[in-house]
């Protein structure tokens, strides 16, 4: 067993559990602070301090294993307001970002955001990339962002990082990645009913013939 301090109060919990499972063992039933439980949704951002250390560490309660003597708090919400925009009316450049998130000019490069990222992203680098009008680099740097918002809670410039990165990735995906022509072609074929007759045939086919067709179909290599 190890002892953890959840919001200052001590609980004895088994070793090897994640913070989330340990708190449940201790008697907590989450409403907020538990989402996907697999490290993707950002509902369970956690700030903790290890015994004898002055530094605050960050993690996800569903991914971080308890350590003896750790002090922790879960921060399931960050009061950021998301502006509404129409991606189809924007250009993939710094101007679009500044229009909705003017605060990015206030970045002082303190790097507190990067230190607060449980995903280990180069958060400050991404903000700088945007300021240099490099949307592609910012999109790629922030691909793994789970929008937990811990970065924003630590930012002295009140930058809304997860919201900015979301816009950046959409601009990149929409304007800077070339379109897949084969997808457009297939959508056109389907809308023209190119496959209808064959569908009819398959859907009326006796099950044994269908199974034969299935078994004998050619399988493409990896």
Binding to other proteins, residues 190-209 (CB under 8 A): 190, 195, 198-199, 202-203, 207
Q: How far is the CB of 92 from other proteins (least distance, A)?
A: 9
Whole-angstrom distance, CA of residue 185 vs CA of residue 80: 41
* Residues of span 158-197 touching other proteins by CB under 8 A: 166-167, 169-175, 177-187, 190, 195
110 or 177: whose CB is closer to other proteins?
177
DSSP class of 178: P
With b meaning 16 or more CB within 10 Å and e meaning fewer, what string describes 127-161? bbbbbeebbebbbebbeebbbbbbbbbbbebebbb
121 or 124: whose CB is closer to other proteins?
121
3 or 169: whose CB is closer to other proteins?
169
Return the residue of 64, 96, 152, 153 that touches other proteins, per CB under 8 A: 64
Whole-angstrom distance, CA of residue 41 vs CA of residue 35: 6
Task: Report if residue 152 touches other proteins, rule: CB under 8 A.
Answer: no
Task: Report if residue 7 touches other proteins, rule: CB under 8 A.
Answer: no
Here the tokens at position 92 are: 């993939």
Task: Report if residue 89 touches other proteins, rule: CB under 8 A.
Answer: no
Here the tokens at position 93 are: 């450049």
45 and 118 Cβ atoms separated by less than 8 Å: yes
106 or 186: whose CB is closer to other proteins?
186
Coil/strand/helix, residue 3: strand
Q: How far is the CB of 171 from other proteins (least distance, A)?
A: 6
């Amino acid at each position: 067993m190890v002892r953890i301090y959840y919001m200052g109060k001590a609980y004895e919990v088994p070793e090897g559990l994640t913070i989330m499972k340990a708190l449940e063992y201790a008697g907590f039933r989450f409403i907020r602070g538990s989402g996907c439980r697999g490290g993707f949704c950002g509902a369970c951002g956690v700030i903790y301090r290890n015994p004898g250390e002055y530094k605050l560490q960050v993690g996800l309660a569903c991914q971080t294993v308890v350590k003896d003597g750790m002090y922790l708090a879960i921060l399931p919400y960050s009061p950021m307001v998301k502006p509404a925009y129409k991606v189809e009316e924007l250009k993939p450049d710094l101007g679009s970002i500044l229009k909705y998130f003017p605060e990015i000019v206030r970045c002082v490069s303190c790097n507190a955001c990067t230190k607060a990222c449980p995903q280990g992203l180069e958060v400050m680098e991404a903000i700088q990339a945007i300021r240099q009008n490099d949307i592609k680099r910012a999109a790629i740097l922030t691909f793994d962002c789970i929008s937990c918002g811990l970065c924003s809670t630590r930012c002295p410039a009140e930058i809304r990082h997860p919201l900015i990165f979301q816009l950046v990735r959409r601009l990149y995906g929409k304007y800077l990645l070339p379109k897949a022509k084969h997808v457009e072609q297939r959508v056109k074929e389907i809308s023209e009913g190119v496959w209808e007759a064959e569908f009819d045939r398959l859907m009326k086919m006796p099950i044994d013939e269908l199974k034969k067709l299935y078994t004998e179909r050619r399988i493409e290599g990896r």
